[in-house]
Structures are given as C-alpha cells and as structure tokens.
Amino acid sequence: MTSPFNPYQPPTTDEPEPIARASDASVRLASLEQRWLAAMIDGLLAVLVVAPLQYHFGMFARAKAGISFWELTLWALIYFAVWLVENGYCLATNAQTIGKRVVGIRVDDIGGGRAALWKLVLVRNLPFSCVANLPAIGGVLLLADTFLIFRKDRRCLHDHLAGTHVVRVR
C-alpha cells in the first residue's frame, strides 16, 4: 500500500490565491500623464459649472473681504455634487470619470475587477474634496496625496484608502 504523501510536492495552503497587485506584470497601470490629464478634464468640467454659480452668488466680490470656512466648505460640497452629477453614470457603469474615459483609463479594485461606486465616491473622492478646504493644512495634505503617485505602484493616498489603482483600458 502506497502513502499519498509526497515529500517533493510543493506545500499547499487553505489561503486564497494572492490578489493582483499594481506591481504585477499583467496590470497595465495608467501613466502619470494620463492621470494628470484626466484630473484636469474632470476639474475643468466641474469648474465650468461651479464658477458661474459662485459669480452669481457674489463669492468673487466678497473674496477680498474674506470668505468664511463654512462658506468654503459649502462650495466644496457643491463642487463635489456637480462633479458627482457629471461623472455619476460613468462611475457606476465603467468605474471611470469623463476625463478617465477620454484618456482611456479606469479605477479598478486592487483585488481585481472594477471598484464599487460607493468606494469611488465615499472613500476615494469625498474625503479629499473636504480636506482641500482645511485652513493651513488642506493644501499640504492634498500635495502629500499627489506626491505618492511617484512611487513604483503609482497609487496616491486616496487609492490606498479605497484599495484601488488606476489602470489602462486601451
């Protein structure tokens, strides 16, 4: 009678297969230029709606006198809402904003597959829209978020928080 044990067989484990990481050769990460261009397109589209509203409600006229933290926060939320209305459908169906769609990139979950809409909106984008308006430290935090993209995995802080990475689709 032979034993089923083979001392030369590689060890096995009950752990799941490792997830695809941004460093895997099969994952084609978006370039810095693609991500920058997509962000510029998305930002411009939102500003084209928000800036006329700010002008209409006198924000530009009051700028020299000083704008309160709460008014800045309100405008940040309005900007975020406009961004979400402009990009909601594309985010829900393809995990892309308009800018990402134009450039040919999308947001994937680091574990594989497209990222969920709630993760894209509530974890990846909303916190950073709010952080941008924190006096004195908002700009520093956003700069730190942006500089993380220069690492090998090309993931910003918002990518790490949401467990996502941005990949090429073309």
Give 114's strand partners: 108
- Grouping H, G, I as helix, E, B as strand and the rest as coil, residue 121 is helix
pLDDT (tens digit per residue) in 4-34: 677 676 666 554 443 444 445 567 999 999 9
pLDDT digits (tens, 9 = 90+) for 35-92: 999 999 998 999 999 999 989 988 888 877 888 888 888 888 888 899 899 999 999 9
Q: What angle do CA 153, 45, 110 make, to 5 degrees?
A: 25
Where do runs of H (alpha helix) occur along 4-156? 32-56, 59-62, 69-94, 98-103, 117-118, 126-131, 138-147
Q: Note if the pTM is more than 0.85.
A: no
